[in-house]
Homo-oligomer: A and B are copies of this chain.
Amino acid sequence: MTIKAGVIGAAGFAGIELCRLLLAHPEFELAVATSDALEGTLLAESYPAFRGVTDLAFSSHANADFTQCNVVFLAVPHTAAMSAAPDLLAQGVTVIDLSADFRLKDPAIYQQWYATPHTAPELLEDAAFGLPELFGEGLAAAAAAYAQGEAVLVGCAGCYPTATSLAAAPAIRAGLVDPNGIVIVDAISGITGAGKKATERTHFCFANENLEAYGVGTHRHTPEIEQILGIPGKLVFTPHLAPLNRGLLSTVTMPVAPDAPMPTAADLAKLYQEFYADSALVEALPMGSQPKTASVAGTCRAQVGVAIHEGARMIIATGAIDNLGKGAAGQAVQCANIVCGLPEDCGLSLVSVPV
């Protein structure tokens, strides 16, 4: 039976990618796509990639009927999500949130980084964390509840946290990383990561042929990565922008625990490959290979690589995703698949264009 889906904030980059994935999904039906700014406009008019694909038009939030939906995806800015979620859940609609509102378990940390109090803190404890390869249990519980007819809430991981954590978690969970050491993350994102808003930063002529770091020491994905990896206060995270549309590469340098023997590169490659052996959407590369973002662009896939610096006793792990795919819309659909009892990669078998 078709699962009816809605997308709130469908005109933004993550929202429209959700529409693309849901329109091609064998089990979901895109029933509602909202954009207050574009109410009444055809998706295909705003995004001509949809010409000949769908006749759907954007609805306003106020006029949309979400009660027809089994699942609603929130592709809205933070604060808008925690404002919208309670009502949807109360109406029995399962919510998959792509914003930051239901990621951080501690509302005090939320308030510290987002400079506003959390308005739905009662939902935080039960919200499943939407990073299936690392938090499968919470999603399994959500799936069980959904199967019982309950509306559930998933707070999907952010783009930088996803790439970073997929790269770091196998080593950290294996106890290889010094819990007192500092993990250094330098990550690079394509420009879709800066959003649809036309600004000087996103102007072609300023973004093209340029590299820069930004949000040094202040990026809001910092506490999220710390929470996922269980390394509070032990992360230095520096994001960078590079001139491409889609793609995010995170390079994670982790100190080996003083009491652990230094692993070999081969050991680590094996550890990573075993860690992701059952994951449909994450590929751990063989020793000596490095992921390329082009290999996963346009898809929900991730690739991770791992290497060592023996002298410095450091593990260098890298993770490549499409920031709108596994880093946003793709992961949200993956979570929805799991909640709805489907294979996690249902409708997500897209292969990146090879060149």
Within 8 A of B (CB), among A185-241: 186, 188, 190-192, 196, 198-200, 202-214, 216-217, 233-236, 238, 240
Q: Does A34 contact B (CB under 8 A)?
A: no
Given contacts A203-B204, A290-B216, A307-B217, contact A47 B355 (CB under 8 A): yes
One complex includes copies of this chain to the number of: 4
Neighbouring B residues of A56 by C-beta, 8 Å: none
Q: Are B51 and A213 in contact (CB under 8 A)?
A: no
With contacts A202-B204, A205-B192, A242-B244 taken as known, whether A216 is within 8 angstroms of B316 at the C-beta atoms is yes
Task: Indicate if the CB atoms of A204 and B240 lie closer than 8 Å.
Answer: no
Contact present for A198 and B200 (CB under 8 Å): yes
Known: A24-B349, A52-B301, A354-B50. A209 touches B246 (CB 8 A): yes
Residues of B contacting A308 in the complex (Cβ-Cβ under 8 angstroms): 217
Determine, out of A15-23, A61-69, A100-108, A168-176, the stretch whose residues face the partner at the interface. Answer: A15-23
By Cβ-Cβ distance, the 8 closest A-B pairs, closest first, are: A186-B186, A210-B294, A198-B198, A49-B352, A242-B242, A47-B354, A48-B295, A211-B249
Interface size classification for chain A: 35 or more
Cross-chain contact A353 with B20 (CB below 8 angstroms): yes
Residues of A within 8 A of B (CB): 13, 16-17, 19-20, 23-24, 47-53, 182, 184, 186, 188, 190-192, 196, 198-200, 202-214, 216-217, 233-236, 238, 240, 242-249, 251, 253, 255, 280-281, 283, 285, 289-298, 301, 303, 305, 307-309, 311-312, 314, 316, 318, 320, 324, 349-355
Other A-B pairs, 13, CB within 8 Å; known A184-B314, A204-B204, A212-B320: A20-B351, A20-B354, A49-B294, A49-B351, A49-B352, A186-B251, A191-B204, A191-B208, A208-B208, A208-B244, A235-B312, A245-B355, A246-B353
- Please indicate the chain B residues that have their CB under 8 angstroms from the CB of A188 in the complex: 188, 211, 240, 242
Inter-subunit contact A295/B51 (CB<8 Å): yes
Option from B19, B20, B253, B303 in Cβ contact (under 8 Å) with A51: B303
A353 x B208 contact (CB < 8 A)? no
Which residues of B sit under 8 angstroms from A217, Cβ to Cβ? Answer: 307-309, 316
CB neighbours of A318 from chain B (8 A) = 213, 216
The answer to whether B295 and A49 touch across the interface, beta carbons within 8 angstroms, is yes
